[in-house]
Structure 1
Amino acid sequence: MPDLLLELLSEEIPARMQRRAAEDLKKLVTDALVERGFLYEGAKAFATPRRLALHVAGLPARGDAVREERRGPRVGAPEAAVQGFLKSAGLSSLDQATTVTDPKKGEFYLAVIERPGRETLDVLAEILPGIIKSFPWPKSMRWGAASAQPGSLRWVRPLQSIVATFGPETETPDVVPFAVEGISAGTTTRGHRFLSPEPFEVRRFDDYVPALERADVILDADRRKDIILHDAKDLAFARGLDLVEDEGLLEEVAGLVERPVVLMGSFEERFLEIPAEAIRATIRANQKCFVLRKSGSEELAPAFLLVSNLVASDGGAAITAGNERVVRARLSDARFFWETDKATKLEDRLPKLDAIVFHEKLGTQGERVARIAGLARRIASDIDVQFDLDLVERAARLAKADLVTEMVGEFPELQGLMGRKYATLQGEDPRVAAAIEEHYKPLGPSDRVPTEIVSIAVAMADKLDLLAGFWSIDEKPTGSKDPFGLRRAALGVIRLILENGLRLPLLDGPIWDAFDELPGKSVAILDLSSVAALDALDEDTELTDPRAKDLLAFFADRLKVYLRDQGARHDLIDAVFALPGQDDLLLVVRRVEALGAFLATDDGKNLLAGYKRAANILRIEEKKDGRAYDAEPDAALAASGEPEERALAEALTATREEASAAVAAEDFSGAMRALSRLRAPVDAFFEKVTVNADDPALRRNRLLLLNALRAATREVAEFSRIEG
């Protein structure tokens, strides 16, 4: 079957945009084809620094003819309905429609719409110009004289040529006939800018890839990455060194070269006095080069690997020498920063934080550090009342001091890490030094979680101050936008609590402490141990700031995300969170786990079915009667009824007490076992007892029994939120 080859050649595309742009091109073209009924066998997109390319295999040469029957209004229907039918069916009059008789509905109009199949080449010529003109680059530009015209082409960099061919393997493909801003689609492309600048012809994808390789262009970015990685490892091994792998840098460098050549440079041993992280940041950020380790050691070697886009006649000697000069200059700067920073203690830098605005509504970094220090003391005391709180406060006070060092000013990604090194050199307690680095953690789902109390307290205080602060000024995340990283901060707090097994209720502790540290104390400090759910505070609760409710709901949502990622069912999480006072995250997780295990058993499944039947009956009868059946059932009346009624009443009383006691003891598995004993009496009740009895008193009491079943299950979870 015929294939499509599309190439868009331009000036250099930023490396960070290439992979996404290739996927966007594939999706836009294939979606447009499928929408028009043109199915394909496979598609793959590619990107190099100067081109986007797309290969769509197995397209039909011509679309299928379409025959559609469209039913219209009844004969004699209002004129507006008839005209709407004619317009939608593409008919000019009712003479072009037929009349069909339905035995039940009478006569109605029917339009038979036949559309001949279209040539795929024509459809491609129709859709490709629009895709190119509206391509979703994050940033784009206009160029040339036409750039002054409204609606002129925007592209990431000036577009130079378009290759677009379509046809079967056994024949010469046709050029897709279209043009964009004076650039006509053709069969001419170019290779490497310097090594093979001459134009050459391509017709089909199978010829295109080898032709590019002969022109010193490797089309597939993943193959370029493999070449760079393997050549780098081989070159390092040949010199008795190990490559320090860096996936992010590898991806970026593969987007900077079309013909990768790996070379090795070196620098003087004296620069190894600089911390390894600073050396790596210097070489990576400024020169896009990889650092090397001494074989079998974590110690850096005075060498680096660079990736050239040229096969040089001198073997790369001049390129290597040029990079070495720049690396030496950059390392000299880093060494100066290191020596300068060591001369001033971290605590002596703290006054400078008072001159740095954190946020115009939340004060300076110095004010924020003071809030974090106070909050960290409270959190550490909640974790271990005997702990040395002065040590925690010391760590919090110094945590942001490295922000005003020369090294972090040049390389912001080293914040925290350089602070730890400076603190260690200045003789700070090792736990304080560690907390300075670790208080930013965890930065992502795979990042390590601190385990020492000092680090935990400062890390949690940093994140909670961020959340409370931006909630107090109504700067919450919206949709996909989260410029201040508040979702990440909340997940960080959740991981700190759960992965360290901390019993640290949020409602009655850290969240309110965080608001209390803010200027003006935006939220009242309350005893919220009896407040309903995280996402539903009691309406009678007095709050000076209603945004507190949003922050609590935000934590609940983030915990749901975390638990879903761990494999927990979303409905079980909702069922637990719907209960009052679920602010102890560790207990929430344990309750969800126990509930999931219970519902996986036959007893659990059957009890859930019985609960839903009871809830449905109650909902119907309460709506019909205009009242809620939420009182306690009459035990004496139940005892005088059917044996199954009496058995259920007795089982509910015993089970509720046992489940409540188990929950109070935090024995959630025991609470589930107690509920499991309701299965038999519930099944027997529904089998033998008529709820809507003729006797009004008996009917009311049986409905109250069903409500008692609902209340008993609420000892462990809100079963109405459980699916199935």
Structure 2
Amino acid sequence: MTSVQKNLLVELFVEELPPKALKKLGDAFAGVLRDQLVAQGLASADSVLTAYASPRRLAAHLTSVIAQAADKAVSQKLMPVAVGLDASGQATPALLKRLAGLGADASAVAGLKRAQDGKAEALFYESTARGAALAEGLQKALADAIARLPIPKVMSYQLETHCELPGWSSVSFVRPAHGLVALHGAEVVAIEALGLQAGRDTHGHRFEAAVDPVVLRDADSYAQQLADDGAVIASFDARRAEIARQLAAAVVKVGGGAKPIDDDALLDEVTALVERPNVLVCSFEREFLEVPQECLILTMKANQKYFPLLDAAGKLTHQFLVVSNITPDDASAVIQGNERVVRPRLADAKFFFDQDRKKSLASRVESLGKVVYHNKLGTQGERVTRVMKIAEAIASRLAVSTGDATLPAHAVQAAQLAKADLVTDMVGEFPELQGTMGRYYALHDGLDASVADAIEDHYKPRFAGDTLPRGDVGVVVALADKLETLAGMFGIGNLPTGDRDPFALRRHALGVIRMLIEKDLPLDLAALLGDAAAQFRGIEGFDAERATVALQGFILDRLAGSLREQGASAQEVDAVLAPLPQRLGEVPKLLAAVRAFAALPEAAALAAANKRIGNILKKAPEADAHVSELLLQEPAEKALHAAMAATVPAANAQFDAGDYAASLQTLAALRAPVDAFFDGVMVNAEQPDLRLNRLGLLKSLHEAMNRVAQLERLAT
């Protein structure tokens, strides 16, 4: 008999959930419920799941759920035949004991199945397991869904006991739970969780619900009844879309090309804070616009969850949007209340800005000596001194290629002032504004615009896809700052692990890589690391070798991962990075050249030959790249030498000119003479002079072929 399919609804009604985790909690709750019911045969892979998450509920709606799962045939291996049956074919005590443990007796022996299991024949007991009933299966699924919720912080609370004896039972969950709904069609499923018995009653909006409780008719009426009777949009996605729609409608009403700030994280957080959104237009006094807009935007977003409005040019206006959780007939009181709340926040920002500008950035540098950076690496003041010296070394090298004689002085000044805003009132209140406020204060102090920009930009790139510093001064200071962090942490052994990277060393390494490559800087990686490590001399426990050798490997490893993510094959990446290229700006061109070479018909044979040559040379450390024409005897070795004389100088000239693809293309002409050499020449000749000469020929060939990349890495 086939069990009737009905749709299922499960809801946990709780106190206000953490907004930044709500979407993840809702998806996880619904997803685990669905997976567990499918695993138990109560739902199918085709069952449609709808997750619901609002500030006070987590819920899941699943289609086509049956009341009783189908029975399953179960085959259990018992033991090898030789152990279970004696020489006369009778059951041994071991077999009878095993069967008894499964609820069977000696009568089951005749029905046991024999089957090959590895090298031996084994006995199998076949039975039928009754399918799970919905109440039983849902109870298990709900317990698992609750246990596996990605809860940021668990709360423990107590439930009143309903027995005559005094006492409390303790429950742990993300927030105290007050209701549980479980409906299979229109029928309540008898389950329990967190001290609650399942029913059909839930609750709507705290103030605007038409009825309380909302008594659900069936699983399919959940969302509509909550909307109609409870004044709640239960779906996170539907509520988010409604807020976005209302925001867009509000800016049309404001006019003048206004638009709300684009912030998906803020939209998600606000969606998690309201059950019935109502967008209102508010404003503040225009005098606050004298404060840098980053400060005002941050305080409105972070503290009040408002959407600041920008004009068509991207400048902050004196208006902002509020997503209210109530919809009164007259919204003026709500608007005035929000305007009254934001005013002191903006006044604080204006006060901090005015106070900070009374002191120059330069006068604040001394205070950094009182701020601890790391217990082994000293204060922020000491760190600033190191960054200044690294920046000066980098800028001096770049000044030669750029012709900008002011670069070293500007870079040193920017490096000295880059951290000074850490001791300002504004950054003390809003750490997210470090760098940004430094730029404003530098401009107020009359410093060069390139220095001011560098103070803001030296943190870039802050994350994957972030922009790079806008000018040479910013690039120099950003490189110096990141290299100082990397060298310092590697030097004291503070390396990232698989799941921990508290100093963001991977991000810093990728930032260095991006600047060197995307800006195509003529800088040598080993020299950069050497400059950085040199600034830590005298620090106890600092290992300079670890800060250079291990750090170089770490950076190249990050580069390899980045290139593979961009679509390069592992073989191509290995070929390019194996020679440890020092000018990372050349890596994209080297990679393109190797990719073009790999497409040539000669590539596979040359890569294989290169690998063979490498293996030969590993066993002949005495070989050097010297060839005597007088010792060339075989026609094939003479032909190879002549071919190299005709092609290698041209390939080297193309390499020196930066045309790596052409260099490899030229070397591809050596395929035929290389093949002929290995077919017709005995490399390890008995005569020592002939052997060394042939090894010298191969070493010369190996060096010529591996200038662009280690071609043997392309061999399959």
Q: What TM-score, normalized to structure 1?
A: 0.83
1:57 aligns with 2:63: yes
TM-superposed CA distance for 1:603, in Å, is: 3.2
Specify the code of the residue in structure 1 equivalent to 2:351.
F
TM-superposed CA distance for 1:478, in Å, is: 1.3
Q: Deviations over 1:34-61 (max 9, x none)?
A: 5446532233323211111223334455
Q: Deviations over 1:227-277 (max 9, x none)?
A: 222222322222224123232221211111011001111111222221222
Moved more, 201-210 or 86-95: 86-95
Q: Deviations over 1:411-447 (max 9, x none)?
A: 1111111111111122111111111111111112221
TM-superposed CA distance for 1:575, in Å, is: 2.3
Residue among 652, 661, 676 paired with 2:668: 676
Whole-Å separation in 2 of the counterparts to 1:637 and 1:62: 91
Residue among 183, 191, 199 paired with 1:186: 199
Q: Deviations over 1:60-89 (max 9, x none)?
A: 554444446567765436999x87996999
Residue among 320, 324, 332 paired with 1:304: 320
Match of 2:295, SS state, is helix
TM-superposed CA distance for 1:116, in Å, is: 4.1
Over 3 Å counting, the alpha-carbon distance change for 1:448 and 1:692 in structure 2 is: closer
1:164 aligns with 2:177: no
Q: Deviations over 1:570-619 (max 9, x none)?
A: 3321222222x42221122221221122213433345446667x589x69
Moved more, 221-230 or 651-660: 651-660
Match of 2:525, SS state, is coil
Moved more, 661-670 or 407-416: 661-670
Whole-Å separation in 1 of the counterparts to 2:7 and 2:439: 58
Contact kept? 2:187, 2:218, Cα under 8 Å: no
Specify the code of the residue in structure 2 equivalent to 1:290.
F
Contact kept? 1:672, 1:716, Cα under 8 Å: yes
- In the other structure, the counterpart of 1:76 is 82
1:458 aligns with 2:464: no
TM-superposed CA distance for 1:158, in Å, is: 0.6
Residue among 441, 455, 477 paired with 2:460: 441
Whole-Å separation in 2 of the counterparts to 1:451 and 1:251: 31
- In the other structure, the counterpart of 2:285 is 268
TM-superposed CA distance for 1:97, in Å, is: 6.3
- In the other structure, the counterpart of 2:593 is 594
Specify the code of the residue in structure 2 equivalent to 1:180.
A
- In the other structure, the counterpart of 2:397 is 382
Q: How does 1:141-156 map to 2 (within 5 A)?
A: 141-144=155-158, 152-156=170-174
Over 3 Å counting, the alpha-carbon distance change for 1:408 and 1:713 in structure 2 is: same
Match of 1:262, SS state, is strand
TM-superposed CA distance for 1:115, in Å, is: 3.3
Moved more, 546-555 or 515-524: 515-524
TM-superposed CA distance for 1:559, in Å, is: 1.0
TM-superposed CA distance for 1:193, in Å, is: 2.0
- In the other structure, the counterpart of 2:88 is none
Q: How does 1:656-667 map to 2 (within 5 A)?
A: 662-667=654-659
Q: How does 1:259-658 map to 2 (within 5 A)?
A: 259-294=276-311, 296-314=312-330, 316-385=331-400, 387-388=405-406, 389-508=408-527, 510-520=528-538, 544-579=544-579, 581-605=580-604, 607-608=606-607, 614=612
Specify the code of the residue in structure 2 equivalent to 1:115.
A
TM-superposed CA distance for 1:310, in Å, is: 0.6
Specify the code of the residue in structure 1 equivalent to 2:7.
D
**For structure 1, which runs of at least 5 residues remain unmatched after alignment?**
167-171, 525-542
Match of 2:49, SS state, is strand
Over 3 Å counting, the alpha-carbon distance change for 1:85 and 1:577 in structure 2 is: farther
- In the other structure, the counterpart of 1:535 is none
- In the other structure, the counterpart of 2:20 is 16
Whole-Å separation in 2 of the counterparts to 1:84 and 1:399: 80
Whole-Å separation in 2 of the counterparts to 1:96 and 1:317: 85
Q: Deviations over 1:146-185 (max 9, x none)?
A: 899999532111111222233xxxxx45433321232122
TM-superposed CA distance for 1:345, in Å, is: 1.1
Match of 1:546, SS state, is helix
Match of 1:582, SS state, is coil
Q: Deviations over 1:324-361 (max 9, x none)?
A: 11211111111111211121111111122111112222
Q: How does 1:55-134 map to 2 (within 5 A)?
A: 55-59=61-65, 62-67=68-73, 75-76=81-82, 95=109, 98=112, 100=114, 108-134=122-148
Match of 2:526, SS state, is coil
Aligned pairs, number: 686
Contact kept? 1:89, 1:113, Cα under 8 Å: no
Over 3 Å counting, the alpha-carbon distance change for 1:108 and 1:434 in structure 2 is: closer
- In the other structure, the counterpart of 1:540 is none
Moved more, 39-48 or 303-312: 39-48
Contact kept? 1:451, 1:500, Cα under 8 Å: no
Whole-Å separation in 2 of the counterparts to 1:649 and 1:84: 82
TM-superposed CA distance for 1:220, in Å, is: 2.3
Contact kept? 1:659, 1:716, Cα under 8 Å: no
Match of 1:507, SS state, is helix
1:29 aligns with 2:28: no
- In the other structure, the counterpart of 2:7 is 3
Please, what is the CA RMSD of the aligned residues?
4.2
1:210 aligns with 2:224: yes
TM-superposed CA distance for 1:675, in Å, is: 3.9
Over 3 Å counting, the alpha-carbon distance change for 1:352 and 1:88 in structure 2 is: farther
